[in-house]
Amino acid sequence: MSSAVTMEATRRRQRLSSNGEASETTEEPAGQWGRAWEVDWFSLSAVILLLCTAPFLVFFFVMVCDQYQCSVSQPLVELYSGEVTLRSIWEKAPSFTWTAAQIYTIWVSFQVVLYMCVPDITHKFLPGYAGGVQDGARTPAGLINKYEINGLQSWLITHALWYANAQYFHWFSPTIIFDNWIPLLWCTNILGYAVSTFAFVKAYLFPTNAEDCKFTGNVFYNYMMGIEFNPRIGKWFDFKLFFNGRPGIVAWTLINLSYAAKQQELYGYVTNSMILVNVLQAIYVLDFFWNEAWYLKTIDICHDHFGWYLGWGDCVWLPFLYTLQGLYLVYNPVQLSTAHAAAVLLLGLVGYYVFRSTNHQKDLFRSTEGKCSIWGKKPTFIECAYRSGDGGLHHSKLMTSGFWGVARHLNYTGDLMGSLAYCAACGFGHIHPYFYIVYMTILLVHRCVRDEHRCSSKYGKDWKRYTDAVPYRLLPGIF
């Protein structure tokens, strides 16, 4: 078997373009791919900085709304002038409560039950929806994991219950999330740290798949960026799919609904800005669950290892910082002019169109192995080869048509346009809600560079051919 692989690896391969003509031939790549094995000083410093500052940053952005009407500069000015101290700010913030702990325990347990015990039936009656058991992408060690895709069903059940409670049962107030927001922050931190630490220890003691573990020799990097690739408990409880999608993204729309309910309670009306934020973000969330099977082929699942970055990030960063606009609007009920609201809606919808169409084109292209139509034509592509850790040689294709021929990551550009629309829905009174677009720009530019570095190791010279054919990353002619 291994000699066959070696022979195959050394054989020069002929490449065909989409029109069937033979193109150049090159040596097979033999590079290792996946997350780094060695940590440079820059990455290590960034990891330690993030570990030390990210929890305080989340606290800061929530606290400034609670104590300073969402003014980011006011607490800094008061700290500078000595009017307040870090201690007095900390003491004024609501602390952990058992009520919040109960709410959060019920919430996470309910999501676990929906994830583990309610197999998907929605794919049986929703045409075009891919739910139920689906294959993930090949891991660096050569495995293909199976996933139970039932996120859309979980979202629908959860929101149906939320609606039923608000309209008929009245077990709890729809403002429950907002009313317990800072106490809930402590609870999410407890889970975020617990799950990251558990994943870290598990990787040493009982990894799900030892061949896909990566140890760098640096404990901080291992803790933050993860060791195990796809940690699981039992056959089906997949940490990445559960923590990213369920307590985090299902909660996103509920948190926004809770903010809208709070505006109604405080002012007797819901602003058009709040409606815009709820609608645009709900489109994004529903898109995520409708395409959950596609999510199995994204960087989070295919390339990132599960550590604090994903574990804590999904539990704390995502629900608190992705919902800053709604929080801001509770304290600052901005009513937009019709022209401003229309411009925000247009930007959000165009951004969503670019984001979705770009992702869809790649998915269609990959699932049909290039036998499809992109913008009314047969797609063009570059044939590539790569090796998995078990020595196996595999082939893949990089599309150079459609949005993927315009720039290498227009899906990120669309995502950024949508993110800007959420921020612009809050008007221009404070910079607080604009933190999201700053963060998303850093996240997606960094992700783009990280992904390209990985693709370059994976595909070698073929990647260079692709970047020569499509020279820009996010904005044609600029970057």
Binding site for ligand NDP (CB under 6 A): 298-299, 355, 359, 362, 396, 398-399, 404, 409, 411-412, 415, 447, 451, 455, 458
In the complex, minimum distance from the CB of residue 321 to ligand NDP, in angstroms, rounded to a whole number = 10
120 or 300: CB nearest ligand NDP: 300
Nearer of residues 214 and 362 to ligand NDP, judged by Cβ: 362
Q: Is the torsion defined by CA of 29, 30, 35, 37 positive or negative?
A: negative
CB of 242 or CB of 355, closer to ligand NDP: 355
Hey, is 177 helix, strand or coil? helix
Give the nearer residue to ligand NDP in terms of CB position, either 66 or 452.
452
Over the Cα atoms of the chain, what is R_g? Answer: 24
Q: Report, in Å, the least distance between residue 260 CB and ligand NDP.
A: 21
The alpha-helical segments, DSSP class H, found in 336-434 are: 338-367, 403-406, 410-424
* Nearest distance in Å: CB 168, ligand NDP: 34
Nearest position to ligand NDP, beta carbon: 298
Q: 55 near 224, Cβ under 8 Å?
A: no
Contact 365, 435 (CB under 8 A): no
Q: What is the DSSP letter of 374?
A: B
The least distance separating ligand NDP from the CB of residue 151, rounded to whole angstroms, comes to: 15
CB of 20 to ligand NDP, least distance (A): 19
Cβ–Cβ under 8 Å, residues 287 and 352: yes
Closest separation between CB of residue 278 and ligand NDP, Å? 17
- Shortest distance, CB of residue 362 to ligand NDP, whole angstroms? 5
Residue 182 or 398 with smaller CB distance to ligand NDP: 398
The rounded distance, in Å, linking the Cα atoms of 322 and 252 is 8
Output the smallest distance, CB 341 to ligand NDP, in A. Answer: 23
Measured from the CB of residue 433, what is the shortest distance to ligand NDP in angstroms? 16
Written as six digits, the tokens of 77 are 């000015």
E strands, 26-143, where?
A: 132-138
Q: Which CB sits closer to ligand NDP, 276 or 399?
A: 399
Q: Which is nearer to ligand NDP, 79 or 406 (CB)?
A: 406
Secondary structure in 3-state letters for 302-352 = HCCCCCHHHHHHHHHHHHHHCCHHHHHHHHCCCCCCHHHHHHHHHHHHHHH
User: From residue 195, how far is each of 109, 207, 298, 428 by CA, in Å?
Assistant: 14, 14, 22, 38
- Cβ closest to ligand NDP, residue 174 vs residue 418: 418
Q: How far is residue 124's CA from residue 129's CA, in Å, rounded to a whole number?
A: 9
Q: Letter for the amino acid at 181? A: W
- Decide if 238 contacts 154 (C-beta within 8 A): no
User: How many CB atoms sit inside 10 A of residue 132's CB?
Assistant: 17
Q: What is the DSSP letter of 264?
A: H
Could you tell me if 363 and 137 are in contact, meaning their C-beta atoms sit under 8 angstroms apart? Answer: no
178 or 322, CB closer to ligand NDP? 322
Joined together, the tokens standing for residue 60 give 């800061």
Q: Say if CB 261 and CB 173 are below 8 A apart.
A: yes
For ligand NDP, the closer of residues 412 and 434 by Cβ is: 412
Rounded to the nearest whole angstrom, what is the least distance from the CB of residue 41 to ligand NDP in the complex? Answer: 26
Per-residue b or e along 55-86, where b marks 16 or more CB atoms closer than 10 Å to that residue's CB:
beebbebbbbbebbebbbebbeebeeeeebee
Beta bridge partners of 385: 395
CB of 134 to ligand NDP, least distance (A): 16
Beta bridge mates, 381: 399
Nearer to ligand NDP, 68 or 466 (CB): 466
